[in-house]
Amino acid sequence: MNEQITISALYDLNETIAADIFKDCTYPWEVLAKIGDFIKELGKTLPEDEYEQRAEDVWVAKSATVYPTAYINGPCIIGKEAEVRHCAFIRGKAIVGEGAVVGNSTELKNVILFNKVQVPHYNYVGDSILGYKAHMGAGSITSNVKSDKKLITIKAPDMPIDTGIKKIGAFLGDGVEVGCGSVLNPGTIVGKNSNIYPLSSVRGFVPAGSIYKNKTEIVEKNQ
């Protein structure tokens, strides 16, 4: 098993309303196909004094701030104290965690954003999971389909893993910082508390506690 890329190595499940979706799964991409149905079932159980159903399969916390120009398609849950800003485009199958920020012209599709995630400026996040307090700088995106349209292989640290899936974005562990203008190529995994330099093209696996400067220079923090 590639321990460094397991769900338990990447995420604190206490920091998401979606903790139950990860049960019986080892790797984060195993969750992607379940997000839509999970939201529909979870939404029905949310307390009516804290959440309101604004459209079919769309639940928004009463303490959340959603700008009138934002577009939200179900199934979707917007958590407590979250902020969905001007012209955000949530295409569906999205869980936005408590205190998270979805910013101007940011697009979400089939994602789980843990609590306090920030995707605040011109981001595309698709078929991805972003851990607690992960932050994507302005213009950084997840690329979720290979240019040759082939199924995605995870370039794991121990051995490659064939997923059998065509669309996979990125999996960012808790506390990851992605620099402005970066592209996270399909199947990228970034371990907890790592930093990605601006304008990077990232592919494969970045270990926890690292600074990604380029594909040949990945250094440990504080070295």
> In whole angstroms, what is the distance from residue 96 CA to residue 101 CA?
8
Ranges of residues in the chain with a pLDDT under 70 are 223
Cα dist. 109→1, 61, 188 in Å? Answer: 29, 19, 17
State residue 214's pLDDT score. 93
Phi, psi of 29 (to 5 degrees): -70, -15
Beta strands, E only, 25-72: 51-55, 58-61, 65-66, 71-72
State residue 223's pLDDT score. 56
Beta-carbon contacts of 37 under 8 Å, excluding residues fewer than 6 positions away, are none
The residue with tokens 């690292």 is 210
The model's pTM is 0.96
Contact 154, 29 (CB under 8 A): yes
Phi, psi of 104 (to 5 degrees): -50, 120
DSSP state letter for 154? E
Helices and strands (H and E) in the chain: how many: 2, 25
